[in-house]
Amino acid sequence: MSTLSRRHFIQRSIALSAGFAGLRRVMADEVPVLNQLARPGYGPLTDEGSQYVSLPAGFRARVCSYAGQRMNDGLLVPGKHDGMGVVPGPDGLTILVRNHEISPGHDTVGPFDAGGDGLASIDRTRIFDPGREGFAPSRGGTTTLVYDTKGGREPGELVHHAMSLVGTEHNCAGGMTPRDTWISCEESVVGPGDELGRARTHGWCFEVPATVEPTLIEPVPIKPMGRLNHEAVAVDPRTGIVYMTEDRNDGILLRYIPVKPDRLLEGGRLQALAIVDQPSRDLRNWPDAESPAIPTGTVLATRWIDLDEVESPDDSLRYQGFDRGSARFARGEGMWFGNQVVYFACTTGGRNQRGQIWKYTPAEPHVEGTGKDAEAGGRLELFVEPNDATVIEHADNLTVAPWGDLVVCEDGYEDQFLLGVTPEGSIYRIARNMLNQSEFAGAVFSPDGSTLFVNIQNPGMTLAITGPWDRRRS
């Protein structure tokens, strides 16, 4: 890993921790306190900077990529834009890797939907699942975008984009690694023999390099990381341990300890998080949950439980883990590593099922790359549980601004907002979806801090938002 890559990864990790510093104090069950501490951020939203999203005065949004657009490789930009990762490219360029959460039956464009020319133009061995005879290939995967934030047209310009992974299913989120690769996660466990026409088993993670000349990778599933409804990952750069969320209402939290941190395919240990002296603890805080609710700020000692038969043909890893004593979570989604801790969102957790944000602090000492802390447990804290949709409704993807503010993508029921949270815990609105009620997804900043990239999932577009980011009101 280059010095630039490591510095970029660590800087973003530290910034996330700063963005969360004040949340713990204010985001509890005391909703009036939350509303009282709300600040304008960049001011009220207006309709002046974009026809698609409301933004504060002085901000602009450009659609830099949209579903159905012809890419440099001749394929079409698929729809259902979701999680994204970013790394710095040469000469100040930004490299984005973007997921497409497409499954059979979704009414959205796919990469081959312009007729047979696109499908005929690529190496069919690079399609993970070509489909059974008489069925089309799987249409999910990733695209890679190369963007110049200082291009000739404000607020920048798209230089190149192409398909980088294809033939997968329901690629929801994922996460960046310290070696400038993106782990794309399949939130699907479809497989051969079902009515969808799939020829291969799904439910895997795939590693995609972030390069300025993207091409279709050889689609090799990282089977030791388990087969499940994968959502997001976060990599601890000190150890190479990969933490993972599972998007199920009865999901578990997992981690993968690779034998070789830079070679995930070569095997490792898959484990589930458990609470010390509280086996099979239900942490959803639902009124009818199997365990009593815990208040925000509670810190729990943890341990890790090894899982067997990780390729799980019957999609039972969460049941295996819970039966062995692992904790239960409500729809684990967005995840991020920052300042030696892992933050993750549970979209339907909490008393009113409006969402939770948890913080996991790994155990010490860490022995980088050896996995010697495989038996050790860290600390788990319920960090955020607003229980009020007017504050944050169903936090999903998370990222952090270079100056420390947290940026949260909502996946709610009505108006969809992109929200900011200051280190002091003040909450403000960055954008509102004016186009429809589709969720925001994949928010991430360019390495130079000038541009916030975010997706409107349906019909599928990536926005590049610029403006006076350094003028946030306190």
Domain boundary among 199, 221, 243: 221
CA–CA gap between residue 217 and residue 90 (Å, rounded): 21
Residue range 81-106: average pLDDT?
93
Residues 300 and 314 in one domain: yes
Q: Is the pLDDT of residue 255 over 90?
A: yes
CA gap 185, 342 in Å, rounded = 18
Instruction: Please check whether residues 442 and 409 belong to one and the same domain.
Output: yes
52 within a domain of the structure (yes/no): yes
- Position 37 scores a pLDDT of 40
Distances (CA, A) of 217 to 75, 211, 233, 250: 15, 11, 20, 33
Q: Is the domain of 394 the same as that of 380?
A: no
Question: Domain check: are 78 and 217 in the same one?
Answer: yes
Domain membership flag for residue 227: no
Are 202 and 307 in the same domain?
Answer: no
Count of domains for the chain = 3
State residue 104's pLDDT score: 82
Strand order of the sheet with strand 230-235? 230-235, 242-246, 254-258, 268-275, 299-306, 379-384, 356-361, 341-346, 332-338
Same domain, 77 and 217: yes
pLDDT digits (tens, 9 = 90+) for 175-219: 999 999 999 999 999 999 888 899 999 999 999 999 999 999 999
**Same domain, yes or no: 278 and 377:** yes
Domain assignment of residue 76, yes or no: yes
On whether residue 249 sits in a domain, the answer given is no
Whether residue 165 sits in one domain with residue 21: no
Q: What is the pLDDT of residue 172?
A: 95
Q: Are 462 and 396 members of one domain?
A: yes
Task: Write down the mean pLDDT value for the chain.
Answer: 87
User: What is the residue range of 78's domain?
Assistant: 68-221
